[in-house]
Structure 1
Amino acid sequence: MRRLLSFVGLAMMVPVALAEPSAELEGPTGGWRFSGLIDRDDQPRVAYPTPPIDRGAQRGRSMIEGTLKNLKGARQPHRLVVNGNPLPLYTDDDGRFVRPYNFGAGSNSVEVVSGDGKSIKRIQFYEANHLKTPARVRIVLGWDDPKAELDLHVVTPDGQHAYWAAPVMSNGGGLDTDSVDGPGPEMFTMTAPLRGTYLVYVNYWGNLNENGYNFEAGSNQNEVITSQVSLVFNENTPNEKRETFVVPLRGIGDLQFIKAFNY
């Protein structure tokens, strides 16, 4: 009897192993695909926590869909790393996420990384649609506060200014994902860049909650919002080069100059 009690006591002291975080990706799938020739109405148009707004420029985007599991006790947020661009990944109460992205031609990758830096799911696929020209200049903005709305601003050498109210430029550039529902991404793309100087800015525009957009200080989640801007040249080619900038934002209206570069 004493041995049995001792055994029970030891069993109670042994920690129960928690299930490791895992992820399922419903889309995109690995392998080859040929997409972007038509606008499909059956594509899901939801993200966290509300649908993104299509202002007419976002015709080539795809949805990254999946579910995170066994999140109890895990440090948030996880990260969604798309073609090397890390983005904070938030989910609904069931662990589901849907994020927009505009994939270029060639080899693309999607990876889910846990809060402690462990890769828990990765797929790679080849976009074989030759009509989708690879991006020569790609700028990706993400941030770590799902209750804040940040905006990417880009000024091109001819003086045109791409931002949320004017996403399409006559020179072929523009915002092809303008996410208005939480932690991004926002993306600027040019497939045939002009020669000259480009200017990149990030603006802390306002906040977002269950009642909609607002400009109330403190209604966001984090006291300091950490934004990350990735500047990518010749994406998905052997000549790809990238720079990453981490920029803190504290107050609504903050406009941060990120980078001036010559192409």
Structure 2
Amino acid sequence: MRFFLGLSAILWASIALAETTATLDGPVGGWRYFGLLDRTENPRVAYPTPPIDRGIQRNRSMIEGQIKATSAARQPHTLAVNGNALSLYTDEHGRFARPYAFGAGSNSVEVRSSEGASLKRVQFYEANDQRTPARIRIFLAWDDPKAELDLHIITPDGQHAFYANPVLNNGGGLDTDSVDGPGPEMFTMTAPMHGTYLVYVNYWGNYSNGGYNFEERGNQNEVITSQINLVLNENTVNEKRESFIVPLRAIGDLLLVKTFTY
């Protein structure tokens, strides 16, 4: 009897895992040499289509694919890129598209189910030798597709990188500035100056099919969970990584997440 009960549990678990599958149209595994992207003058801004990229680094690539479920699945799924987790929402057909600024060297992209099971994973090597590896990379993501959060970085010389000032004259800037939730936003410096850096996150407002709004209940979750990853010397043997979970409740919240010295 115990044998049959155990076998039954295994079969049910196998069926549950088989109910959800994922495909990745890009990136694909192996080696690639990826140049700069041509950005349209009239980009679409409606999740999950690619958001406006206000950064000037122009190193972003699209991660595109589809999740197929034979039964109702809890949302969201997870997109993990080089260890950076991003809540993954899809359209009615299960398709998704998210921008990411990949660094030189080895990169990984994994789609995980809402239960944490790995659905699809690819590993590729970015061989663009004109792309200098990032020495400082700061990554912001959040779990509310109807909220708009912003990453703010203050560099040692007092310059302020954010959506209205995406490019600094010290070499730092936003590679990706998502405007339609739930991220990512990414700050990159390839030759950082020495000194103290400040990392802030701001709950700017909300976003829906009707555009931006500042209604208190215009977002999806009562508490927005944001995750900020600080990565030093990305894709090298000296890589160091810290992650911070920051809850946000009210439009206008501006929180200091981390002060660090490079």
TM-score between the two structures when normalised by the length of structure 2: 0.90
Distance in 1 (CA, whole Å) between partners of 2:138 and 2:70 is 31
CA shift, 1:182, in A, is 1.1
AA matched with 2:226: S
AA matched with 1:72: S
**What does 1:94-243 correspond to in 2, within 5 Å?**
94-243=93-242
AA matched with 2:75: Q
| Corresponding position of 1:254 | 253
| Corresponding position of 1:11 | none
CA shift, 1:187, in A, is 0.2
| Corresponding position of 2:32 | 33
> Are the structure 2 counterparts of residues 145 and 23 from structure 1 closer, same or farther at C-alpha, using a change threshold of 3 Å?
same
Aligned-residue RMSD, C-alpha: 1.9
Distance in 1 (CA, whole Å) between partners of 2:64 and 2:148 is 21
Q: Deviations over 1:31-84 (max 9, x none)?
A: 000012x43469xx6662454123351411000000001163322111100011
Q: Deviations over 1:177-209 (max 9, x none)?
A: 000011000000000011000000000000011
Checking the alignment, whether the CA contact within 8 Å between 1:50 and 1:181 is kept in structure 2 is no
Distance in 2 (CA, whole Å) between partners of 1:68 and 1:50 is 15
> Are the structure 2 counterparts of residues 246 and 41 from structure 1 closer, same or farther at C-alpha, using a change threshold of 3 Å?
closer
Distance in 1 (CA, whole Å) between partners of 2:214 and 2:183 is 18
> Are the structure 2 counterparts of residues 56 and 154 from structure 1 closer, same or farther at C-alpha, using a change threshold of 3 Å?
closer
CA shift, 1:17, in A, is 4.4
Give secondary structure in 2 for the equivalent of 1:228: strand
Give secondary structure in 2 for the equivalent of 1:99: strand
Checking the alignment, whether the CA contact within 8 Å between 1:31 and 1:124 is kept in structure 2 is yes
| Corresponding position of 1:61 | 60
CA shift, 1:20, in A, is 2.3
Distance in 1 (CA, whole Å) between partners of 2:79 and 2:15 is 26
Distance in 2 (CA, whole Å) between partners of 1:144 and 1:234 is 27
> Are the structure 2 counterparts of residues 246 and 195 from structure 1 closer, same or farther at C-alpha, using a change threshold of 3 Å?
same
Identity over the aligned pairs, expressed in percent? 70
Distance in 1 (CA, whole Å) between partners of 2:200 and 2:31 is 36
Distance in 2 (CA, whole Å) between partners of 1:96 and 1:49 is 8
Structure 2, unpaired ranges of 5+: 1-10
Distance in 1 (CA, whole Å) between partners of 2:70 and 2:186 is 29
Give secondary structure in 1 for the equivalent of 2:34: coil
> Are the structure 2 counterparts of residues 31 and 162 from structure 1 closer, same or farther at C-alpha, using a change threshold of 3 Å?
same
Structure 1, unpaired ranges of 5+: 1-13
Distance in 1 (CA, whole Å) between partners of 2:225 and 2:55 is 29
CA shift, 1:120, in A, is 0.9
Checking the alignment, whether the CA contact within 8 Å between 2:55 and 2:177 is kept in structure 1 is no
Give secondary structure in 2 for the equivalent of 1:92: coil
CA shift, 1:129, in A, is 0.7
How many residues matched? 247
Distance in 1 (CA, whole Å) between partners of 2:171 and 2:74 is 41
Checking the alignment, whether the CA contact within 8 Å between 1:48 and 1:99 is kept in structure 2 is no
| Corresponding position of 1:89 | 88
Give secondary structure in 2 for the equivalent of 1:145: coil
CA shift, 1:105, in A, is 0.5
Distance in 2 (CA, whole Å) between partners of 1:213 and 1:123 is 35
AA matched with 2:158: G
